[in-house]
Amino acid sequence: MTYDLPPELIVESDGPVRTVVINRPDDLNAVNKDLHWALANVWRQLAADRDAAVVVLTGAGRAFSAGGDLDWITSFLDDPVARDESVREGAEIIEEMLRFPLPVIAAVNGPAVGLGCSMAVLCDVVLMSEKAYFADPHVAVGLVAGDGGAAFWPLLTPILRSREYLYTGDRIPAAVAVELGLATRTTTPDDLLSTAHVLAGRFAAQPPEALRSTKRIVNMYLSQALSGPLQAGFAAEVATMQSAVHRERLLALGRKAAGR
């Protein structure tokens, strides 16, 4: 099957396994406009691939995804149409991943931040390199963590533990992510992809209808539990996107990145 995607997202085929590679390695796989669109649209294309049985999601280079591309996000400050479209598309990414029928294994090879963290946690199995970490820094830049952490983490982690990381945006090392329930297990960096593909092979060998139906039932709990928090979260995130504090903090980040 031919996938209609920009070069920022690659789908590699190996028998029944599809490896989806977030492909902006020079920018730590930060999500720009084209990649954001691709992440919203790849799941329907994968579901239409009749030869696919399981998906591995990973990043090129040394990061899984560093979250939103700073230049792209900064453009929203003076472009409300683009801002609102990004929020709509962000909701689509979450919804498509929850509806996706095949098992997805996250091979978290490096930092998974913001949206990168949300996508990893939405996968069926989350394998993390010992050198990887999660972080949701929304609050630190004046935003509500509406596209992930605030909605998902309370379903997976002890709330008293996850609040501290959500409120501060601090990094969650791989071993701590496993302890909290945000990841399945850790591997050495060299073993990450091979471990993911061995597990993918095991999933692919299972009776497909039984596997898909089991995933569908498990995800019913997630979809029902997330329906209210996600709607509230995205609405609150849009509101904070328009705040003076967010503008100030985002512009300060841009100046810091530029060395000014």
pLDDT of residue 260: 52
CA distance linking residue 167 with residue 145, whole number of Å: 9
Q: Is residue 237 part of a domain?
A: no
Range of the domain at 74: 9-191
Here the CATH number for the domain that contains residue 36 is 3.90.226.10
Question: What are the residues whose beta carbons fall under 8 Å from the beta carbon of 171, sequence distance 6 or more?
Answer: 133, 134, 135
Q: Is residue 210 part of a domain?
A: no
Q: Is residue 83 part of a domain?
A: yes
Count of domains forming the chain: 1
Q: Is residue 248 part of a domain?
A: no
Contact 28, 76 (CB under 8 A): no
Residue 150 token pair:
């605030």
CA distance linking residue 134 with residue 145, whole number of Å: 14
Residue 61 main-chain phi, psi, to 5 deg: 75, -140
Taken as a whole, the chain contains a residue count of 260
Q: Is residue 148 part of a domain?
A: yes
Q: Which of 11-25, 59-73, 212-226 has the lowest mean pLDDT?
A: 212-226
Q: What is the pLDDT of residues 181-211, one digit of tens each?
A: 999 999 999 999 999 999 999 999 999 999 9
Could you tell me the maximum CA-CA distance found in the chain, to the nearest angstrom?
57
Q: What is the pLDDT of residues 113-151, one digit of tens each?
A: 999 999 999 999 999 999 999 999 999 999 988 776 888
Give the pTM.
0.95
